[in-house]
Amino acid sequence: MEFINEERINDILKNPALKKEDYQKTVIEKAKLKKGISVEEAGALLNIETPELYQELFLTANELKQSIYGNRLVMFAPLYLTNACVNNCLYCGFRKDNKELTRRTLSIDEVGQEADSLIRQGHKRLLLVCGEHPKISNVEFVGEAIRKIYSLDYNGNNIRRVNVNIAPLSLEDFKKLNSYEIGTYQLFQETYHYDTYKIMHPSGPKKDYAYRLTAPNRAFEAGIDDLGIGALFGLTDPKWETLAMLMHAEYMEATLGVGPHTISVPRLEPALNAPSANQPPNAVDDLTFKKIIAVLRLAAPYTGIILSTRERAELRRELFNVGISQISAGSKTSPGSYKDSENPESHGQKDMEQFSLGDHRSLNEVVKDVCEQGYMPSFCTACYRSGRTGDRFMALAKDGTIGHICSPNAMATFKEYMIDFADKGTIEVGEKALAEQVEKLPEKTKNKTKSMISKLENGERDVYF
Ligand code: SAM
Ligand code: SF4
């Protein structure tokens, strides 16, 4: 726990030298070398106030993301297994004391129906999410759900990577979880600020700050080497939170030899009977949020940064330009809601959801929009299936190889999506974007990509390298 050094963070925030523009400019220059920056230097960037300088920050974040990963944006959707929960997080609609929430736990067959609905929309990557309930959301149940999801197939289309965001486990249970072939294990500390954490988590197992903070290390020991971290913005001072999260990343790098695979930046959204969500104690405005994402990209250039549908479409578009590399699309936050929404008579499941969303567009609409913004939607799951995880993935990211793998795989999986799922409008925009992007590839990769595309046109599926 000592690695979240509150004194060090407080000193950074007070330090007048870190508010000087000249110094902030030198930090931006240093970040361009793609070697990351220290927590102190990130503190200096978070202090940037002048529009010229934060525009420079935004441009640099975009350049870094583009030069490492190219213009691909990886797509996924969350799948909720249950909204039953024994915790009482003051910001969450699933909290135990929310008596107005209609509780629902999916059967394994219903999990299959949800996944099937997502496969038929074109998704290839899911994030499993659930409340914490020892009798319901235990590792065996999650494992069975994963098996069911991987077993489904719809004309060669299937879920190829299941990431998991569930409450922290013991070492033994993490080993079991790993045996189900998960992708990334994600866990958000919510707030790294100890006193705030204590207030926000008044009861249930989640009130143990240290057990949660040390979970990524236990997961790693159990063999899971793609680990995601995150903080729930709005609970405490956002600059403080960002620096603490970077300290966590620094600690992971030092102790595990590899930093986080992803960083998530959820921001508080309104939720039923969740006092701290409906009146966030430290609401984060859009500009501050944008600066935070850009600073994270400069500080951890090789890490995936995930943006969810909590945010509105217009803001999401802006944030793609400051280093976001993965996004959810077409999401719902209550168990059973994908299947339910296929029913034209359905009125939604407001009384079952975890929080309300800012972006309600379908996957097809988001894909089209992403293309129009000059990004390449990606459904790629190649790295994890080819053993490129943990430090092996990071090594490829650091030596620049990953971009040469990501771009062609993004293009092939996007082509596959267009053949099987896109509507006419998306195909029009998408084919044009794809043709342009393929021509921009270096000769060798271009030929490989064209050959993957023709295989897909000839009926093959799941083509990647
Ligand atoms: N129950 C597990 C846990 O708490 O670790 C699994 C994840 S929980 C269902 C998913 C995440 O949703 C939480 O970690 C939290 O960051 C986020 N969340 C909860 N309430 C939220 C709200 N009102 N607005 C935005 N995000 C919220
Ligand atoms: Fe339960 Fe997680 Fe919601 Fe907390 S954030 S109430 S643990 S589902």
CATH of the domain at 263: 3.20.20.70
Q: Give SS3 for 340.
A: helix
**Tens of pLDDT, residues 209-233:** 999 999 999 999 999 999 999 999 9
For the CA of 206, the nearest atom of ligand 1: 4
Ligand 2: residue of 89, 187, 232 to mutate (most ligand atoms within 8 A of CB) is 89
Which protein residue's CA is at the shortest distance from atom 11 of ligand 1? Answer: 188
- Band (pLDDT 50/70/90 cuts) for residue 387 is confident
pLDDT value of position 242: 98
For residues 122 and 249, membership in a common domain is answered with yes
Answer whether residue 396 shows pLDDT above 90.
Answer: no
Answer whether residue 126 shows pLDDT above 90.
Answer: yes
Does 448 fall in a domain?
yes
106 phi, psi to nearest 5 deg? -75, 145
Query: 312 alpha carbon to ligand 1 midpoint, in Å?
Result: 18
Query: 161 alpha carbon to ligand 2 midpoint, in Å?
Result: 24
The three-point CA angle 342-348-354 to 5° equals: 115
Ligand 1: residue of 188, 233, 334 to mutate (most ligand atoms within 8 A of CB) is 188
- Band (pLDDT 50/70/90 cuts) for residue 394 is confident
For residues 234 and 155, membership in a common domain is answered with yes
CA of 85, nearest ligand number:
2
For residues 290 and 200, membership in a common domain is answered with yes
Q: What is the mean pLDDT of the chain?
A: 95
For the CA of 86, the nearest atom of ligand 2: 1
Q: Which residues line ligand 2 (CB under 6 A)?
A: 85, 87, 89, 92, 94-95, 131-132, 206
Which residues fall within 8 angstroms of residue 442, CB to CB, at 6 or more apart?
A: 404
Does 463 fall in a domain?
no
Residue 196 belongs to domain spanning: 72-361+373-385
Q: How many domains does the chain have?
A: 3
3-state secondary structure 156-211: CECCCEEEEECCCCCHHHHHHHHHCCCCCEEEEEECCCHHHHHHHCCCCHHHCHHH
For residues 263 and 409, membership in a common domain is answered with no
Which protein residue's CA is at the shortest distance from atom 5 of ligand 2? Answer: 92
Least confident span in 151-160, 168-177, 342-351, 417-426: 342-351
**Tens of pLDDT, residues 97-117:** 999 999 999 999 999 999 999
Mean pLDDT of 359-365: 96
CA of 271, nearest ligand number:
1
Answer whether residue 397 shows pLDDT above 90.
Answer: no
Query: 93 alpha carbon to ligand 1 midpoint, in Å?
Result: 9
Please say which residue of 43, 64, 85 terminates a domain.
64
Q: Which amino acid is at 400?
A: G
Which residues fall within 8 angstroms of residue 139, CB to CB, at 6 or more apart?
A: 169, 173, 176, 177
For residues 158 and 141, membership in a common domain is answered with yes
pLDDT value of position 263: 98
- Band (pLDDT 50/70/90 cuts) for residue 403 is confident
